[in-house]
Amino acid sequence: MEIITHTDYFILKRMAPGVFATIAKPGTGAWSNAGFVDLGTELLVFDAFNTPAAAEELKKQAEKLTGKKVKYLVNSHYHGDHVFGNQVFEDLPIISTELTREWIKDKNAIGDVDVETQETQNYLDNLMLQIKSEKDEIIKQSLSNQYLEMQVMLTQIPFMELTLPTITFENKLVISGTERHVELYCFGGGHTPSDTFLYVPKEKAAFMGDIVTDNLHLPVFHPEEFLTILESTRTMEIDILLPGHGDIGSNEKVETMIDYVTMLKEAAEGAVAADVELEDFVSSFVIPEEFKKWKGMQGIKRNLKTVFDFYKKDVEKTATQSI
């Protein structure tokens, strides 16, 4: 993969002709990845990082490299690390699904600066205590990155303005340019209530948002829809993809995600069928070897609970229906 440049926030790489990835350096103000596509006469940016400062650098680098202007921004899902840079693109059409727009509006509201600053400071103080007492080096490193990232966020709070998408779609949107077109797909919500990914057919390249991440226990919102979305990408020819977190790879990363979500699903379904209590399920769970080194280790407990609750409700619903 050709590295074009290193910036303070990300590494800019060429994935394919006209398709570029900006791989975040977590702890700098860019927590998740973003990317951009040269449509021919203008550019389309996919996701906007965690801070306006990182998004500003993305816009600058994209326009410098191509000599073209950014015309569109896409938000893959509502999480702040993908949308808090939106304000840099406030004069442009910002595209997401209707549901993602609603969730950005509801969940990412930026309140009173003093209150937000105080809350972030409290969060940081708490995090520092956790870092000091943590024995596991992998978890310690991950918490330290979070600490650095939140420190950058703290400095940005006075300048942050929630900027909402202005154009929404439901399942599919095609944006055509003179050189290539991109396809946006939303097959439901697996990681959040609504997850969009981008496909560039000409280059067989894809930006996956957080539907695909690299060796990371990212949050699972809805296990069944997560699998449906991942399986639907199997029908597409994807030679190269950008995960929401981690480095560029092939569609093997999709298969790894399918394995991960399936593992959670089968474990939870088994526990529910055997009438195991949630606490016992989580505390006795042994992480399979292939996922043991994944980052964000705290995340697996949260995922076990989400997936367990999901199938428990499913069983209860079926039981009520059959009465």
Residues binding Zn ion (CB under 5 A):
79, 210
- Identity of the residue, 18 or 243, whose beta carbon is nearer to Zn ion in the bound complex: 243
- Identity of the residue, 16 or 164, whose beta carbon is nearer to Zn ion in the bound complex: 164
> Residue 254 in contact with residue 238, Cβ under 8 Å?
yes
- Identity of the residue, 52 or 209, whose beta carbon is nearer to Zn ion in the bound complex: 209
Residues in the chain: 323
As measured in angstroms, the least distance from the Cβ of 265 to Zn ion is 20
- Identity of the residue, 79 or 265, whose beta carbon is nearer to Zn ion in the bound complex: 79
Q: Phi and psi of 243, rounded to 5°?
A: -75, 165
As measured in angstroms, the least distance from the Cβ of 216 to Zn ion is 10
Q: Phi and psi of 220, rounded to 5°?
A: -100, 130
The CA distance from 93 to 251, in Å, is: 30
As measured in angstroms, the least distance from the Cβ of 187 to Zn ion is 16
- Identity of the residue, 100 or 251, whose beta carbon is nearer to Zn ion in the bound complex: 100
CA 151: distance to chain centroid?
Answer: 20
As measured in angstroms, the least distance from the Cβ of 280 to Zn ion is 29
Q: Which residue has the tokens 């340019």?
A: 177
As measured in angstroms, the least distance from the Cβ of 71 to Zn ion is 25
- Identity of the residue, 177 or 189, whose beta carbon is nearer to Zn ion in the bound complex: 189
- Identity of the residue, 226 or 281, whose beta carbon is nearer to Zn ion in the bound complex: 226
As measured in angstroms, the least distance from the Cβ of 219 to Zn ion is 7
Report residue 160 as tokens.
């942050």
As measured in angstroms, the least distance from the Cβ of 102 to Zn ion is 16
As measured in angstroms, the least distance from the Cβ of 210 to Zn ion is 4
- Identity of the residue, 210 or 225, whose beta carbon is nearer to Zn ion in the bound complex: 210
Report residue 51 as tokens.
């801070």
As measured in angstroms, the least distance from the Cβ of 67 to Zn ion is 32
- Identity of the residue, 32 or 61, whose beta carbon is nearer to Zn ion in the bound complex: 32
